[in-house]
Amino acid sequence: MIEFEFPSLAERELDDPNPQKPQGLGTDSVYRFSSDVNGSEGLFIIQNQGTQPVDVYSTQENTNNLPDVDIFDIETGDILTESDPYRSLDVGKAIALGIQVDTYGVDVKDDAYQVALIINAVASDQ
């Protein structure tokens, strides 16, 4: 399991006296996170450690009044879905990925949203 927080814990710990500075993601917006705090390409990396090529994509089971969260290929910008995955990640190869968060139509609340995202690696048929 991997866990991300937007804004990050380090960002929340910064003491900023500006009351106008937002404390999280805004409403009716789309955010793309494609690198880590050190500027490395990809927020995270998926490596195929299996025995055959796999298709990689994400699914979000619960979308009821939650932000829509997806993974995307940082090289192409393509969102990776079940119908349009990263095709045929070869054994031993890796792909750098980012996370996209879409807050359109999601209610504002004081506490953090908890969104479970499943990252799938399914044997490729190609």
Quick one: which of 15, 11, 74 has its CA closest to 37?
A: 11
Range list of β-strands (E), 3-102: 30-33, 44-47, 54-59, 68-73, 86-89, 94-102
Give me the pLDDT at residue 25, please: 81
Beta-carbon contacts of residue 28 (< 8 Å; ≥ 6 apart): 103, 104, 105
Dihedral sign computed on CA atoms, order 19, 20, 22, 26 = positive
| Percentage of the chain modeled with pLDDT above 90 | 60
Confidence of residue 117 (pLDDT cuts 50, 70, 90): very high
Determine which helix (DSSP H) or strand (DSSP E) holds 35, and give its type and residue range.
none
Residues 23-40 pLDDT 10s: 678 889 999 999 877 788
- Please report which confidence band the pLDDT of residue 18 belongs to, taking 50, 70 and 90 as the band edges: low
Half-sphere exposure in the Cβ direction for 94 (13 Å, CA) = 8
Tell me the per-residue pLDDT of 55-82, one tens digit each, with 9 for 90 and over: 999 999 888 889 999 999 999 999 999 9
Q: What is the mean pLDDT of residues 17-27?
A: 68
pLDDT number for residue 97: 96
Give the architecture (CATH level 2) of 9-123. Sandwich (2.60)
Is residue 10 classed as helix, strand or coil in its secondary structure? helix
